[in-house]
Structures are given as C-alpha cells and as structure tokens.
Structure 1
Amino acid sequence: MALLVKGRALSRFVRRRLLVLTAAPDRKNLAALRKLVESGRVTPAVDRTYPLREVPEAIRYLEVEHARAKVVITV
C-alpha cells in the first residue's frame, strides 16, 4: 500500500507513472490458468509456505519482510 501512495505522490514530479493492474477472476480464465499450471507450462512463484497455525507469522512476513512472490497458507 505504501508503494501505491509513494508512486502517486512522485508521479507529479517525474515522467514515469504508476499503473495498477487488477483483474476480476472468472470461471473461464481460472480454468485456463489451471490447465497451464497442471501442464507445467506455468509455474507459480511461491516465496514461502506457512501452516494454518502460523497465519499471524505469515502476515507479519508480508508486512515487514516484503515478500517477492506469493505466500501460501497450507492446511
């Protein structure tokens, strides 16, 4: 979130612009993505995995350590 605020503030003074891309998941796109992952053509980038009992630690890692990829919670 801080990156978004900083980007908006700096965009008034520099030529570069911060662009935030969002996508609404739908059944068709998720099915296509699932096929790509299952076939091995796409590999998800996972930074760390945490068991369900360590969710507070996972959130702390996201906030403080600046995760470079997805943080996964497992059951």
Structure 2
Amino acid sequence: MYDAVADDYCYPGTIVLKNKLDIRDSAELAAFEAEVSDARADEEIPAGDLDFEHFNRLASCQPDFHPRAFSRRYGDASPLR
C-alpha cells in the first residue's frame, strides 16, 4: 500500500494499490500479501546483498523480473520505476 493522496496506482480515495483480486480494503490486502509472502518463504533466497543496488542489477539483467514477481497480484507490474 502507498501513503499518497491521489495516486493513479491506487483505488480512488484510498491508499490501496489496484490489484487483480480487486481487494480495496487495506487490512484485507495486507492479510493477503502476508499469506502470499508466507507461502513463498520456503523458497531459496537468492545470493547477494539483497539491497537496492543488487535488485537494480538483477532488474537490468532480467528486465522482466519485476513484472514476473508482481503480475499475479497487480495488473500493471511494469519494470522498475
């Protein structure tokens, strides 16, 4: 969720990111995100420092990384912006 007043990526009048499940309640979306994150917690952690610089290098090598990581939940999972 974003903490912005008028964000094109959020539902009007909310701070809830537009998502494929059309969840408009911030608590419900947070619970869903926690469930999805928990389900993926058993996956192997990639090697590296896992800081923004590392992520940015990964994104430049794999430009589709961000869309692949988030497109199941959010329709406009464009490359890193």
Same fold (TM over 0.5): no
Q: Which has the higher strand share?
A: 1
TM-score of Structure 1 vs Structure 2, range by shorter chain: 0.3 to 0.5
- The structure with the larger Rg is 1
TM-score under structure 2 length normalisation: 0.31
Q: Which has the higher helix share?
A: 1
